[in-house]
Amino acid sequence: MTGSWDKEVDIVVVGSGAGGMLSALVAAKNHADVLVVEKGSRWGGTSATSGGGIWIPGSDQARAAGFEDDLDEAFRYCRGLSADNVPDENIRAFVNNAAPMLRWMTANTPVVYTAQPYPDYHAENPGGSPTGFRTHLPEMIDGRALGADLKTQQFPSPAASLFGYLNWTFAETYQLLYRTKGWLTGLAFNMAKYWLDWPFRFTSRKDRRLTLGNALTGGLRMALNEAKVPLWLATPMRELVREGGTVTGVIVERNGTPMRIRARKGVILAAGGFDKNKAMRDQHAPLYPSAQRSGGVTTNTGDALVAGQAAGAGTLNLQSAWAAPVFYVPGEDRGRLVTIERALPGCIMVNQRGERYLNEAASYHVVGQQMARREAVHGDASPSWMIFDYRYRHQFPMGPLLPLLPDWLQARAVKSIMKKAPTIAELAGEIGADPAMLAATIERFNQHAAVGEDPEFHRGEAAYDKMYGDYRHQPNPCLRPLTEAPFYAMPIYPGDIGTNGGLITNGRAQVLSEVGKPIPGLYAIGNSAASAMGESYPGAGVTIGPALTFGYIVARDLTGANG
């Protein structure tokens, strides 16, 4: 397709998530003229709504914490978990470039990461790290430096904020979870700081104390602004422009008008997956049919995938997703990822008959996959039910159901899905389960939990399980009998935090045709590309970590960077 251009730049980045913004910044720092276009009216993508964690083997931060990683072992670990159809080249490119990427980002942005003693999700596998230090979390950033741009940043997920507006760090999460010394003072201080942020509070609900994914994307946007890289909101890409087999630009819609933008060096697709496209999910990923309960942002509708295929790109593993168990609160536009709650003592998950069928404390990806497969085969896992007793209800949150706050003070939508009864038999009636089955399930669980064992599903044995358990409870931080009435139930669904199949790429993030040849001028990263992790989830941060790393790789490749 040929014709005149409305604008010319060196590189067009489609999508404003973490990977897209970092690729734009790296290219700009290497003297490229870059434009970022974002379909939505808010920037930051799913990255901004996330916990902001990144999985980075061999980092300087891990070394400073006393952990000497082995990149060959990290490769071995990922290779053992990833799908067979993912090339070694892609996994090796990520493993070898992840730490240099983080070093560059640390030196060139306000974003600061610290390595965490957070076990790999399959730490017992060859090359896995039971002590952690491959997962990194971002430190808090003062959002005031963003000025007016803060108002258009994506809000964090309801699962990653308090009351839907108050940002918090993971350290504060644990302080609130266990109500350790000073928790109430800390909560009151942060709430006062939020509400007394005048005059900003009169114009926006955003918390200017940026944490988690808001800290990561906020820091990247600050660096982009400093580098004078434009980011156009409400500018969806309609199609890729091709000339003689080479992608030479994009057609976008801006202010209701089509614009042809030439990309002299290349186009980077960083527009997320097809999380919210029900038709595409039904066609490609029937195991994960619910677009409504996906945790991705609403603009993730597969535009980059469709455009890439129209340009001749091949696809890989479209059936796959970053699976997860989710709570769904009526009226919300996404599911709430369930991480910590499942591992805490005093709860179990059952199917619609009242049977346990998995280790509740396993990684959310594993649990989400098991729930989806159970539903596909037996039709009794969507929803499943989290069952817990009064002691748990008083001590811990169960997703949107907050502890200490009386049942009648919970949000109306939360009360509409909460079930409560004075006995297990009556609770079974509330959720439509077989009373005898549910009673037998809980009796059997209680018998073993009393001595810290779970012979059926081995909950609380793996390092990952224990990390999210209650360290104060022994002999097993994940297990306690359910004995204190009344008893509660909350529906929990097989869901995801995004799709992870996509366009086929190589180790340079070049998009490949259906016959395996690079399409000149076209690159893809993040969930627009098929993940190097295949259908696996090696550890916390393997969604954003590779997105950033391949964004770094492609930007350096396009600009011929040496340093």
* Angstrom distance (rounded) from CA 390 to CA 175: 21
Residue 521 pLDDT: 98
Asked whether 71 and 59 are in contact (CB, 8 A), the reply is: no
Residue 477: inside a domain: yes
What does the H/E/C string look like for 306-327?
HHHHHCCECEECCCCEEEEEEE
Phi, psi of 548 (to 5 degrees): -65, -45
Domain membership of residue 550 as a residue range: 1-154+210-320+500-563
Residues 492 and 504 in one domain: no
SS3 222: helix
Chosen domain end from 475, 496, 517 = 496
Chosen domain end from 446, 469, 496 = 496
The structure's pTM equals 0.95
Residue 562 pLDDT: 63
Residues 258 and 377 in one domain: no
Residue 360: inside a domain: yes
Tokens of 153: 């940043």
Residue 297: inside a domain: yes
Residues 229 and 106 in one domain: yes
266: domain CATH number? Answer: 3.50.50.60
333: domain CATH number? Answer: 3.90.700.10
Amino acid at 371: M
Residues 408 and 538 in one domain: no
Residue 293: inside a domain: yes
Residue 1 pLDDT: 44
Nearest Cα residue to 62 out of 123, 134, 110, 127: 134
* Angstrom distance (rounded) from CA 179 to CA 173: 9
Residues 26 and 140 in one domain: yes
Residues 471 and 432 in one domain: yes
Alpha-helix residue ranges (DSSP H) falling in 82-211: 88-108, 170-178, 183-195
Cα 209 to the chain's mean position, in Å?
Answer: 20
Residues of the chain with pLDDT under 70: 1-2, 562-563
Is the C-alpha dihedral spanning 183, 184, 189, 195 positive or negative? positive
Nearest Cα residue to 320 out of 472, 530, 109: 530
Residue 161: inside a domain: no
If one counts every other C-beta atom within 10 angstroms of the C-beta of residue 433, the result is 25
Residues 360 and 292 in one domain: no
Residue 365: inside a domain: yes
Chosen domain end from 481, 496, 511 = 496
Residues 381 and 476 in one domain: yes
Nearest Cα residue to 346 out of 263, 403, 413: 403
Q: Residue 110 to residues 145, 215, 222, 424: CA-CA distances in angstroms?
A: 10, 9, 8, 52
Residues 519 and 458 in one domain: no
Residues 479 and 512 in one domain: no
Residue 33 pLDDT: 98
* Angstrom distance (rounded) from CA 203 to CA 201: 5
* 257, β-bridge pairs: 254
Tokens of 531: 């993940």
> Which residues, at least 6 apart from 132, have a Cβ–Cβ distance to it below 8 Å?
67, 115, 116, 117, 118, 119, 120
Nearest Cα residue to 325 out of 279, 401, 382: 382
Return the exposure string of 395-415: e unless at least 16 CB atoms fall within 10 Å of the residue's CB, then b.
Answer: bbbbbbbbeeeeeeeeeeebe
* 43, β-bridge pairs: 153
Residue 215: inside a domain: yes
pLDDT tens sequence across 2-32: 579 999 999 999 999 999 999 999 999 999 9
Residues 186 and 242 in one domain: no
Residue 160: inside a domain: no
* 524, β-bridge pairs: 269
* Angstrom distance (rounded) from CA 368 to CA 494: 5
- CA count, 13 A, side-chain hemisphere, 369: 12
Burial of 260 (0-12, 13-18, 19+ CB in 10 A): middle
Number of domains in the chain: 3
User: How big is the CA angle at 527 (ends 521 and 532), to the nearest 5 degrees?
Assistant: 85
> Which residues, at least 6 apart from 138, have a Cβ–Cβ distance to it below 8 Å?
52, 111, 112, 113, 211, 212, 215, 216, 219
Residue 170 pLDDT: 86
Residues 451 and 337 in one domain: yes
* Angstrom distance (rounded) from CA 546 to CA 331: 32
Cα 25 to the chain's mean position, in Å?
Answer: 22
Nearest Cα residue to 426 out of 384, 492, 380, 488: 488
Longest dimension (CA), the chain: 75
Asked whether 456 and 363 are in contact (CB, 8 A), the reply is: no
Residue 65 pLDDT: 96
